[in-house]
Amino acid sequence: MALSNNGRIRVNVTGARGALGIDLQGTPAAGQYLVKGAGGGRSFVAITPATSIANAVPLTGLAANNGTNLVGYGGQSLTQRLQVQNFVTDTRFAGGAKGDGVYTASSDTVSGTDDTAAIQAALNAGGRVVFPGPNRIYRVTNRLLVTVPGTWVELEAGVQIIGMPWRKPAGQDPFGSLLLITADNCTVTGASEHSSGFRVLSPSEANGVTFLHCGGVTARNFFVKYKAGAGAPISDDTFQTGLHVLNATGGNANGTLSNALIENVVSEGFVQYGFQFYGDLSGGIMRGCTGTLAGILSNPSSRGSGIAITRGVRNLLVADNNFSNNKEYAVLLSSAGLDSYNITFSENRIADNGRGGISGTEEANLASVAGQGMSRIKVKDNRFIGNGKNSSFTSGRAAIRFGTFDNVGYIKGYECTNNYFEDNVDYNEIYQSNASNGVFDGGKSFGNVSDINANTQYAFAIGSGVKNFLHSNFYNGNQSKKITDAQYYWTEFDLTAGWSLALGEPFKKSGYMIEPDGHVALRLNTQNGSNGEVAYTMPEGYRPSTTVVFSDGANRFYIRPDGALIFSIGSGPILTTVRYLPYA
């Protein structure tokens, strides 16, 4: 090892596969480095801040549990820290970034050296790009771009990157973000989501951090902020978001899945969304994050949700996050014209959002189309508290709202289990469908606990267009407000043996259904047939275990275990609905 006059250390490591030279630029940091020893063996040599050499440590020390601490980089893997680090302050990179910025919150401005060129030069080199701290602000005046696969961007304690990136007005190419990553297997990490991160200055229309059409996404331990209530929304809501994972077939030539890990990230104050997953390749895991203060209340073009999940997102787990105090919803979910499935929301805290908690809808306003929709959506073990209290919203206020509208989309295989609801306005759960082609078919809600308060219309509500939705939950408080179930999923049929329709529209034909509690409901609208003959045969699954007999006084009929429906007394009209348990 040699120390040159300019502070560069050359470390030559000789191993079985030949010699490796490592340049340590600038004043060497305190720590220990693996070098070739005097006798040809290998050892660890400590470098003090004064660049002296001391305290050689045998290589066998790596076998101990404190191996990474031994080399001075506890908390990160040895592989990560043996990677050559490019400090943005190194003079090789356009003279080196200064990190001398000063942020003024009242005016939302930053002063100091423009570090854009130096930072971009370091990012162009790839590898491990480190922003030294502590408590330094790096001012940038343009977008920062990562194009080298495997780049690791690291913000040390107290570091902020602040700037006003542009957005190309005519379209999305190049995409506007403070930090834009377009290469696979890149990581953005900070020391803590409370102390280090990114700030986009208003009135920029750009995103904070965007992973665009790339795989192997990792983001953890930093914040991304915009001055709450500032700026103005634009029509394209794929901008103005804190952290965005956009990855779609057609845009990603390699078809690599995001497999995103978004962990311990705080997004605050953005005009559209705190977070966004967009595209059929953009799934992954999001956990331990916070999305808050999104949206501008006075502007209807600002959606203002903690997270948006749109345009065919698949295989996504959203768990143990906090979505609170957003303009509209904590979560905005829609297929937006491309099948979405396998999305789970688990153990999140969803509180004090202006319009509601989770909104999962298929509608023209969200670019949904007929034949494409959502399936296998699970909402479990979450807490919904105090949502829907913004009085400027007069409809759609609910802790959970799912529906199909405008003759587009579908929802199938939905599950809502073991959630807790308290102090939400209008509805805790509401499920709707008003579209003949927009199908909401099949769902269940079990084991949820609702505390019903004065603001609640119904703790649980199902509209008439929803089919085959089963529910069994727990309700505390005013029991008259606990359930309204108008779901309409009757199977209608025509009778034989001369039995005809007694009343036409708006009355419904004879039909049957399975009710949420498991009973068969049989609705009859008929008259003037022959007694003693089989008028209809109930299908399997709708037949009683023994003969059941019903009478309205003037008319009598029965159903046998083989499903035969037979009228024995009277000729109608028979207008009634009867219930019985089917054969198990």
Quote the pLDDT of residue 38.
41
Q: Which residues of the chain have pLDDT under 50?
A: 1-75, 81
Q: How many CB atoms lie within 10 A of CB 192?
A: 15
Domain spans, the chain: 2-82, 491-580
pLDDT per position as a tens digit, 488-506: 567 889 999 999 999 887 7
* 3-state SS assignment for residue 59: helix
Strand spans (E) along 382-478: 383-385, 398-404, 410-417, 420-422, 426-433, 439-451, 456-462, 467-476
Burial of 2 (0-12, 13-18, 19+ CB in 10 A): exposed
Provide the edge-to-edge strand list for the sheet that holds 177-181.
144-146, 177-181, 207-212, 241-246, 273-278, 305-310, 329-333, 356-362, 398-404, 426-433, 456-462, 483-485
Q: Which structure tokens are listed for 265?
A: 């990230």
CA distance 453 to 428: 11
Q: State yes or no: cis peptide before 134, omega within 30 of 0.
A: yes
CA distance 536 to 418: 41
CA distance 541 to 539: 6
Quote the pLDDT of residue 236.
75
* 3-state SS assignment for residue 254: coil
Class of CATH domain 491-580? mainly beta
* 3-state SS assignment for residue 505: coil
CA 383-411-249 angle, to 5 degrees, is 100
CA-closest candidate to residue 438, choices 332, 337, 509: 337
Quote the pLDDT of residue 64.
46
Q: Which structure tokens are listed for 319?
A: 């768990």
Q: Which structure tokens are listed for 424?
A: 């939400």
Cβ-proximal residues to 552 (8 Å cutoff; 6+ apart), any chain: 574, 576
Q: Which structure tokens are listed for 581?
A: 């348990």
CA distance 184 to 212: 10
Enclosing H/E stretch for 12: strand 9-15
CA distance 133 to 125: 20
Q: How many CB atoms lie within 10 A of CB 507?
A: 11
CA distance 147 to 184: 9
